[in-house]
Chains A and B, each alone.
Chain A
Amino acid sequence: MKIETQEYKNWSLQEDENNILWLGLNVANVEVNVLSFSVLQELEDIIEKIKADPRYCGIVFISNKASDFIAGADIKEITAITDVNDAIFHMRKTQTLFSQIEALPMPVVAAIDGFCLGGGTELALACHYRLASDERYTKIGLPEVKIGIHPGFGGSVRALRLLGVMQGMAFVLEGRNLDARQAKQLGLVDDVMPLRELRRAAIYTIQNKPKVKKSGLLHQIIDIHFVRNIVGALFKKKLSAKVKIEHYPAPYAVIDNWINVGSLEERAFATEAESVGYLLSTPTCRNLLRVFSLEGKLKAMGKASEFKVRHIHIVGAGVMGGDIAAWCAVHGLRVTLQDPSSKALGSAAARTYELAKKRLKQKHLIQAAMDRLYPDPTGQGIAQAEIILEAAVENLALKQDIFKQIEAKARPDALFATNTSSLPLADIASVLTQPQRLVGLHFFNPVAYMPLVEVVKGKHNDKTITAYAASFVKQIKKLPLLVEDAPGFLVNQIIGGYFAEGFKALCAGETMQDIDAAGRRLGMPMGPLELADQVGLDVCLAVSEHLLAGVADAAQTVLRDKVNQGKLGRKTQQGFYEYAKGKPIRVKFSSDQQKVIALERQLFLGMLNRALLCLDESIVNTVDLVDAGVIFGIGFPPFQGGILQYARTMNKQNLVQELAEYRQMSIQEIEATSAWKQLW
């Protein structure tokens, strides 16, 4: 019986002269291949037919899309499953399908080129062989823990069987995506080759059936019940140093599942499915799924135009200018970096080299990135760049002067941007003949780690210009967030609340350690004072007028003292903390838990208050965008789904009361604000 391709919307089936069946996936009507219900349904049908007529001498899974193999399950469909039993049913059904693939009598090969993530990797793990192209865009991983679940199609079981407990567990728990060479090193794929050889390698593998790697004796021993208890406890201990179980239950569940049933027996699959079914219903997972969809929303903002940048000119090679230049050069742009100081230019070149080494790894790619970075002390690049970004110090007259010079020399179609974090865009634009060309592009420090860039729209801008700017942000693989021009925009306005409460508490006699512990307890990556050290106390002081409203005087006193002593934070090795080799020297300190909890609430209210004000002032228009801003711009804990999402989980009555006290307004007044109405 010949299987007819025409029967399937997503799969194309082709039998070649070697009697090998090529199962090509090209999911209909979407950009990337995902394992949707209909894809799996069709695959089930195909496997049934192969089982009924096993005349093929091999099966190859291959993608017919340009740059991904299978990017995972269909998140939208998964999100829509709300019933635990429905979820478990779906997992079990897919596990059965994958087990049937694993049990096929002929060799089954996954020929991976491009993204192979989540469910895609689980399918690949069920195949007998995995081959991967060494193209830069090939990534293989199980990132499920990042959305609050773990693999549910048998992946967490098969990963342990294939890689052994130690490596397999690390692979599942970290959720890191590996490139092809790393995957080969780990033993996740059997061979790596250039894309041009992938098909021939698949044929070779089927015809020669190289020996399949089996988990060794050590794995069998570690997988014995009482050993699992001991090793599992060690895994948990290691994990607890990174994430707390209350915040991220999924990785803990992976360990628990293994401790309970191991990885060798068949019932491990059932345990996995039940565990995922449960996790899907947890608030953490729902919040992380929300973060995933928020990321999609921001990415969509960058798709509003076809604007492409080849050459960016950056004025100012300080911390921000230099790091933005490094980022752009590494991401394929020609960068002319203007600064009168050769020391600043040199430091930027050195940082670019470090970033390129880390990101690009291969020598020729690093060299190409360095060749794209042009130290340009006299600003020759202005005349050629498609986008000119100013990242000078926060001084209005200086910035105005820079833009006057830029406008005189730039191409008529060049876009102007300023990285100002505290000056009104309109004031800077006022010196331009064509003020509509200037937008704000607000990057965050450290540039390489903060995914968000605020695209600031002034009253003088029209939509085309901000759409161009957002496309540029997307081009360099950052997340654009359109915000209105107001002091501090969105993110700094909210973080200002965090700082303000931190400084207020410090002035009120609380200890640095308690204050920062409170910030971390809230789930923030750093406490307010640690963060101030990171940003630079001089920078904090400069923006304090705008952003520390209410506590400006007291906070300024604290900051000015430090700045006058030359203690500018991390960059001078001294700030609120002392630093040795770039790391803070931590003094042992026993904090008062009650006090920390109270401080945490204070920090939270400080930020929430500002977040609501931003919404009231329409700096962004939706609760979702506020949350996207705090998560990707501040590092607000993703498992809470954002500051407003977090607020929604609280007791409404208590919260409005606290807020009323905080703002010294009546409850009715708070309830009358549009932000409050949007929140509930």
Chain B
Amino acid sequence: MKKVRVLIVDGARTPFIRAKGRGPFLASDLAVSAARTILLRQKILPTQIDEVITGCVMPSAYEANISRVVGLRLGLDDSIPAWTVQRNCASGMQAVVSAMDSIQRGESQVVLAGGCEAMSQAPVLFNPAMVDWLLRLQQQKNVLGKLKACLAIRPSFFKPIFGLLLGLSDHQANLSMGQTAEILAQDFNISRQQMDEFAVMSHHRLALAQKEHRLSEITPIYDNQGHCYDYDDGVRLDSSLEKLAKLPPVFDTRYGQVTPGNSSQITDGAAYLLLASQEAVERHQWPVLGEIVDYSWAALDPSRMGLGPAHAIVPLLTRNHLSLNDIDYWEINEAFAVQVLACIEALGSNDYCQNKLGLQKALGILSLDRVNVDGGAIACGHPVGASGARIVLHLLQVLRERNAKKGIASLCIGGGQGGAVLLNTWGVK
């Protein structure tokens, strides 16, 4: 049976807003702002969507099944189902491919899919000793008991636990994400200088894209005090090697090489796409951004999670009878500069390709000229749930702008996985 073609009609995202203290938006605020732009632009009626799928890693306690929250807040009809997916850093990408599956199975014709994350809103938790103390206090029935329980408090109970740090760690491997990046630097012999050079490039590329107004997928967002956020404010126009060289390592804090400057930034943001079957697109006479052709997931040693893209890209290319050079442009999410560089090294290494990726020889050399041409998460940030949807959306923009045909968007996933999506703009309107 011939598979249904799944087309991407439109997409929009909020600017990615760098966390400076607790931000003004909840994850669903960001999601609503991004998604409603699409609904408005394409004149979507509240009943014309069949499903809403959202990726989000850490929705707030007020946002259980955040996708449903978003659907309702968008004013979509009550009868439209919504579900949330969580695949850590790839949650937004998982939402997009789940939408594709749903359309190909015939379950849905039109799906709103994307991701959102308000990392600045990550909860700060009481530590377990404090929780025990509170519970004991509540259980006491009389004043004396309460007083006694009260006195059992110790200063150490007040030490808070930052949910964000917990989320950015691999508790099985007992490593922070940054430490897995340090391991890749070691494995592939990548220097601090190389990482910093990559980071500077990311900033400069994003700055140029901003200057040339090539980020038309961004929709401005307003907070309740009336401030307008209309660009990725993590970008540093003045980024330079000298400045980055001064930053201390933050994961292996004494002798490490991974710094805030060559890692992705903590940001808040959301990105959504409208996916539809070809039939629905023709029926509604919608425009088309591109086609989502195929996707692939892979898993590997969690302590080298940054190589996830390499592991996901290989089967995707093989299955579709494509070589490295058939792909015009790439988005490889920049969790860490070293991790993107390591992926390129791995794909170009006979040794790694033979031993770890099951190939006869190296896949080939992936030129940085075709990777993240408008910068990446080091410059604009990595709101974990949203990034997967952002790179799919932006890659489509890149392909269209440069009259190219095929692209792959890929990212590494904390816990040791990788995901990749094959996009095509050839032969679609």
Assuming A336-B40, A371-B32, A380-B40, is B226 touching A347 (CB within 8 A)?
yes
Taking beta carbons and an 8 Å cutoff, which residues of A are in contact with B? 334, 336, 342-343, 345-351, 353, 367-368, 370-372, 374-377, 380-381, 383-384
- Are B40 and A384 in contact, with the CB atoms below 8 A? yes
| Contact A346 to B222, CB < 8 A, known contacts A371-B74, A371-B75 | yes
How many angstroms between the C-alpha atoms of A381 and B73 in the bound complex? 18
Q: Is B225 an interface residue (CB 8 A)?
A: yes
The answer on a CB contact under 8 Å between B220 and A377 is yes
Pair A374/B228 contact, Cβ less than 8 Å: no
**CB distance A370 to B43 under 8 Å?**
no
Number of A-B residue pairs at CB separation under 8 A = 47
A392, chain B: closest CB distance, angstroms: 20
Report chain A residues within 8 Å CB of B40. 336, 374, 376, 380-381, 384
- Which residue of the partner chain B has the closest CB to A357? B224
Q: Jot down 23 A-B pairs with beta carbons below 8 A, ordered by A.
A: A336-B40, A342-B220, A345-B222, A345-B228, A346-B222, A348-B226, A349-B226, A350-B224, A350-B225, A350-B226, A353-B224, A353-B225, A370-B224, A371-B32, A371-B36, A371-B73, A371-B74, A371-B75, A372-B75, A374-B36, A377-B220, A383-B43, A384-B43
Docked CA distance A371–B40 (Å): 13
Most chain A beta carbons < 10 A, residue from B224, B225, B230:
B224
Residues of chain A within 8 A (CB-CB) of B230 are 342
Nearest opposing residue in chain B for A354, CB measure:
B224
Interface residues of B in 57-81 (CB under 8 A from A): 73-75
Q: Most chain-A CB neighbours within 10 Å: which of B36, B41, B222, B223?
A: B222
Task: Specify which chain B residues have a CB less than 8 angstroms from the CB of A348 in the assembled complex.
Answer: 226
Q: Is the interface of A mostly helix, strand, loop or mixed?
A: helix
Does B227 touch A at the CB level, under 8 Å? yes
Nearest B residue to A411 via CB reads: B43
Contacts A374-B36, A375-B220, A381-B40 given; does A346 touch B226 at CB 8 Å = yes
Q: Binary interface profile of B, 125-143, with partner A (CB < 8 Å = 1, else 0)?
A: 0000000000000000000
Distance to closest chain A CB from B40 (angstroms): 5
**Chain A residue, CB-CB nearest to B32:** A371
Closest residue on chain B to residue A363 by CB atoms: B62
Structural contact, A367 and B75, CB atoms closer than 8 A: no
With A342-B230, A380-B41 as contacts: A349 and B32 at CB distance below 8 Å:
no
Nearest CB of chain B from residue A330's CB, rounded to whole Å: 14
Q: Write the nearest CB–CB distance from B176 to chain A, whole angstroms.
A: 35
A438→B282 CA distance, assembly (Å)? 35
Q: How far is the CB of B228 from chain A (nearest CB, A)?
A: 4
Which partner residue on chain A sits nearest B225 by CB separation? A350
- A383: chain B residues at CB < 8 Å are 43
Residues of A contacting B32 in the complex (Cβ-Cβ under 8 angstroms): 371
Question: How many Å lie between the Cα of A371 and that of B220 in the bound state?
Answer: 14
Chain B positions within 8 Å of A, measured between CB atoms, are 32, 36-37, 40-41, 43, 73-75, 220, 222-228, 230
Whether the Cβ atoms of B224 and A349 lie closer than 8 Å is yes
Q: How far is it, in angstroms, between the C-alpha of A384 and the C-alpha of B36 when the chains are bound?
A: 13
The residue in chain B whose Cβ has the minimal distance to the Cβ of A376 is B40
Beyond A351-B226, A371-B74, list 17 extra A-B contacts (CB 8 Å): A342-B220, A342-B228, A345-B222, A350-B225, A370-B224, A371-B32, A371-B73, A371-B75, A374-B36, A374-B40, A375-B222, A376-B40, A380-B37, A380-B41, A381-B40, A383-B43, A384-B43
A contact residues around B227 at 8 Å (CB): 346
Q: Which residues of A contact B228 (CB under 8 A)?
A: 342-343, 345-346
Distance in angstroms between the alpha carbons of A367 and B70 in the assembled complex = 12
Complexed CA–CA distance, A375 and B37 (Å): 9
CA distance A605 to B226 in the complex (A): 44
Minimal beta-carbon separation of A170 from chain B (angstroms): 32
CB proximity of A167 to chain B, nearest CB, Å: 34
A40 CB to closest chain B CB, in angstroms? 44
Q: Quote the shortest CB–CB distance from A653 to chain B (angstroms).
A: 57
> How near does chain A come to B108, taking the closest CB pair, in angstroms?
23
Q: Give A378's nearest chain B residue, CB to CB.
A: B41
CB proximity of A379 to chain B, nearest CB, Å? 10
Q: Report the separation of the CA atoms of residues A375 and B228 in the bound assembly, to the nearest whole angstrom.
A: 10
Q: List residues of chain B with CB within 8 A of the CB of A347.
A: 226
Instruction: Specify which chain B residues have a CB less than 8 angstroms from the CB of A371 in the assembled complex.
Output: 32, 36, 73-75
Task: Please give, as numbers and ranges, the residues of chain A lying within 8 Å of B225 by CB-CB distance.
Answer: 350, 353
- Specify which chain B residues have a CB less than 8 angstroms from the CB of A345 in the assembled complex: 220, 222, 228
Verify A334–B75 contact, CB threshold 8 A.
yes
Chain B neighbourhood of A343, CB < 8 A: 228
A349: which of B36, B75, B222 is its contact (CB, 8 Å)? B222
The interface residues of chain A lying within 8 Å CB-to-CB of B75 are: 334, 371-372
User: Whole-angstrom distance between the alpha carbons of A376 and B40 in the complex?
Assistant: 9
Residues of A within 8 A of B36 (CB): 371, 374
The answer for the CA separation of A370 and B40 in the assembled complex, in Å, is 16
Q: Which residues of B contact A384 (CB under 8 A)?
A: 40, 43
- On chain B, the residues within 8 Å of A342 by CB distance are 220, 228, 230
**A372 proximity list for chain B (CB < 8 A):** 75
A276 to B220, CA, bound (A): 59
Q: How far is the CA of A375 from the CA of B40 in the complex (A)?
A: 11
B221 (CB) vs chain A CBs: closest residue: A375
> Nearest residue in B to A347 (C-beta to C-beta)?
B226
Ranked nearest first, the 8 interchain pairs of A and B with the lowest CB-CB distance are A350-B226, A346-B226, A353-B224, A342-B228, A349-B222, A346-B228, A380-B40, A371-B73
Q: Are B222 and A367 in contact (CB under 8 A)?
A: no
**Complex formed: what's the CA distance from A647 to B162 in Å?**
72
Shortest C-beta distance, A291 to chain B (Å), equals: 37
Q: Give complex CA distance A334, B76 in Å.
A: 12
Residue of B nearest to A353 (CB): B224
Residue of chain B at shortest CB distance from A367? B73
Q: What's the Cα separation between A350 and B32 when bound, in Å?
A: 17
In the complex, what distance in Å separates the CA atom of A345 from the CA atom of B32? 17
CB distance from B348 to the nearest CB of A (A): 44
Instruction: Report the separation of the CA atoms of residues A370 and B36 in the bound assembly, to the nearest whole angstrom.
Output: 12
CA distance A383 to B44 in the complex (A): 11
Q: How far is the CB of B271 from chain A (nearest CB, A)?
A: 18
Interface centre among A334, A336, A348, A375 (most CB of B within 10 A): A375
B230 (CB) vs chain A CBs: closest residue: A342
Chain B positions within 8 Å of A346 at CB level? 222, 226-228
- Write the nearest CB–CB distance from B71 to chain A, whole angstroms: 12
Using Cβ atoms and an 8 Å threshold, which residues of chain B touch A375? 220, 222
Within the complex, the shortest CB–CB distance from B11 to chain A, in Å, comes to 15
Instruction: Give Cα A345 to B41, complex, Å.
Output: 18
Measured between alpha carbons, how far is A350 from B37 in the docked complex, in Å?
19
Please give the distance in Å from A675's CB to the nearest CB on chain B. Answer: 47
Chain A residues positioned under 8 Å from B43 (CB to CB): 383-384
Nearest CB of B to A369, in Å: 11
Complex CA gap A351/B225 in Å reads 8
The reply to whether A368 and B73 contact each other, CB–CB distance below 8 Å, is yes
Taking each of A348, A371, A384, which has the highest tally of chain B beta carbons within 10 Å of its own beta carbon? A371
Distance between Cα atoms of A249 and B79 in the complex (Å): 56
For residue A377, which residues in chain B have a CB less than 8 angstroms away from its CB? 220
For B223, give the chain A residue with the smallest CB separation: A349
By beta carbon, the residue of chain B nearest A350 is B226
Q: Chain A's nearest CB lies how many Å from the CB of B236?
A: 22
CA of A372 to CA of B40 in the docked complex: distance in angstroms? 12
Contacts of A350 in B (CB 8 A): 224-226
Closest to A375 in B: B222
Chain B nearest CB, measured from A366 CB (Å)? 9
CB neighbours of A374 from chain B (8 A): 36, 40
CA distance A380 to B220 in the complex (A): 14
Could you say which residues of chain B place their CB within 8 Å of the CB of A349?
222-224, 226
* Minimum C-beta distance from A287 to chain B (A): 42
Smallest CB separation, B293 vs chain A (Å): 29
Question: Complex Cα distance A103/B220, Å?
Answer: 65
**Best-buried of B41, B223, B226 by chain A (most CB within 10 Å):** B226
**Contacting residues, chain B, for A334 (C-beta < 8 A):** 75
Complex CA–CA separation, A257 to B227 (angstroms):
54
Smallest CB separation, A663 vs chain B (Å): 48
Chain B: minimal CB distance from A355 (Å): 11
Q: Which residues of the other chain, B, contact A351 by a CB distance below 8 angstroms?
A: 226
